[in-house]
Structure 1
Amino acid sequence: MAAPLWKTQAQREQERALKREAVLRAAARAFSEQGFHRTSLDDVAERLNVTKPTIYHYVRSKDEILFECVRIGLERLDSASASAEAQRGGGCGLDRLIVLWTEYARIVTEDFGRCLILVGEDPLPAETRKELRALKGKIDKRFRGLIEQGIADGSIQPCDSKLLAFAAAGALSWIARWHDPAGSLPVDEIARQTIGFFVNGIGLNGAGAGRSRHAGQHASAV
């Protein structure tokens, strides 16, 4: 049977969506490598081997591209945090937090997640930044919620959930800045070791416990 000559509406929409994602992904890589202000739409078009007018079939402006790249990165983190939060019967709070942190490390080393960390929403207009920061706040709230569940079920020692959430997110986000896809360690191994520092600590058999207590007292006084 001969193939149909004309694409259906659904096929055309799917094709457009795939091409738009290709534009966003190429831009996310360019922003991460060159910086937002040093990247032009001509640069993005060159990466895709198309003309600049072609780019405008899929996006209206460079600001819109950055907004979409950051939004996609945030929505992936939001989806991961929502999934971990929903698995109340799937292990203790610490187990679910480790799953979330591992997925977080994976996301921030992918194109959109890396753009989120390396570029973020700061170059965008204030109203746009407000929308994206609201989504960031929702993700942070879920992070803290999992920590607090772990404290409640005894799998995490009592601590300041806000401080732990910020410290872990900062450490995992920084992976996006130094991770080399061609390096010797895969992302999952980097995530495993980084998360292990938080879960297990770095002191051996209690060594340095006194100094740790002193440091904690000093930090609380700052």
Structure 2
Amino acid sequence: MATPAPVNTSSRGAQRKMQIISVAAGLFNERGYHETSMDLIAAHVGIRKASLYHYFSSKDEILIVIHEEMIDLIVERQEQRAAAAALGPKDMLLAVMTDLVGLMETHPGHLRVFFEHYRELPMQARNAIAGKRDQYHQYLIDILEAGVSTGEFGPMDTRMTSFAILGMCNWTYQWFHPGEGWTAEQVARHFWQLFIDGAAPKP
């Protein structure tokens, strides 16, 4: 008689943690952070509250993980692109803008939590996340400065322009609904084209 394959408990545990994070993000989004209790999260996941504490020690820890997942994802993507050095400033900017808008398709609940519940983070975690946000912001400024340096973009205040690009992309979480018309890639490319047309060097 064949011996049953061993159960990969670590994989099952990781899947459960992902489920908890996804459910919690949705509840934080719908009800607000303070109105969402650990009891409510456990009930929506379908586990006992005691089991929930096996995965996360507190609601704050869940909120921290949501923020870390979001910022680490886009930072790592950009660092990989920069290391490959295969894209010029225009294409690099398009990739960054596609990443930002694309989060609405891949992490919609997380995204609203990321923008609207940042101040709910414990101070130490908030400072750490702020450092990573600043790091990503600098990556964007570097792309714009490279474009100005190569002549692909006209002269500009790169810091002010970076805020305009971030505002344009990040605000999509307020109105963009995947599956109801445009794709995230279409939205990002449209925004990018508006910028490219406006930033082109003047004759």
- Per the TM alignment, residue 22 of structure 1 is displaced from its structure 2 partner at its CA by 0.9
Q: TM-score, normalised by structure 1?
A: 0.81
Query: 4+ runs of 1 displaced by more than 4 Å?
Result: none
Instruction: Report sequence identity in percent.
Output: 24
Per the alignment, residue 87 of structure 2 pairs with: 91
Which residue of the partner structure matches residue 64 of structure 1? 61
**Which deviates more from structure 2 when the two are superposed, residues 57-66 or residues 192-201?**
192-201
Asked if residue 106 in structure 1 is aligned to residue 98 in structure 2, the reply is no
- 5 Å-filtered alignment, 1:23-62, equals 23-62=20-59
Shift of the 71–108 alpha-carbon distance from structure 1 to 2, 3 Å rule, reads farther
- SS of 1:60's partner is coil
The residue that corresponds to 1:4 in the other structure is: 4
Alignment of 1:177-196 (within 5 A): 177-196=174-193
Q: Pick one of 10, 29, 33 that aligns with 1:13.
A: 10
The change in CA–CA distance for 1:182 and 1:42 in structure 2 (over 3 A counts) is farther
State the distance in 1 between where 2:83 and 2:21 align.
Answer: 30
Confirm or deny: 8 A CA contact 1:108 1:117 kept in the other structure. Answer: no
Q: 1:5 and 1:188, CA in 2 relative to 1: closer, same or farther beyond 3 A?
A: closer
Q: 1:116 is matched with which residue: 102, 114, 117?
A: 114
Structure 1, unmatched stretches of 5+, are: 207-222
1:38-66 Cα shifts (integer Å, max 9, x gaps): 22222222322222222111101000000
- Determine helix, strand or coil for the equivalent of 2:35: coil
Between the aligned partners of 1:136 and 1:49, the Cα distance in structure 2 is 34
Paired residues of 1:74 and 1:113 also in contact (CA < 8 A): no
Equivalents in 1 of 2:160, 2:50: separation in Å? 47
Which gives a bigger RCO, structure 1 or 2 (Cα 8 Å, sep 6+)? 2
What RMSD in Å do the two structures reach over aligned CA positions? 2.0
Q: Report the CA distance shift for 1:18/1:198 in structure 2 as closer, same or farther (over 3 A).
A: same
Q: When the two structures are superposed, what TM-score results if normalisation uses the length of structure 2? A: 0.88
Residue equivalent to 1:156? 153
* Native 8 Å contact 1:118 1:177 kept in 2: no
Helix, strand or coil at the partner of 2:120: coil
Larger radius of gyration: 1
Following TM superposition, by how much is the alpha carbon of 1:195 offset from its aligned partner in structure 2, in angstroms?
2.2
State the secondary structure of the residue aligned to 2:177: coil
172, 177, 183: which one pairs with 1:175? 172
Bigger mean CA offset, 173-182 vs 12-21 = 173-182
Count how many residue pairs are aligned between Structure 1 and Structure 2.
197
3-state SS of 1:181 partner: coil
Which has a greater percent of helix? 2
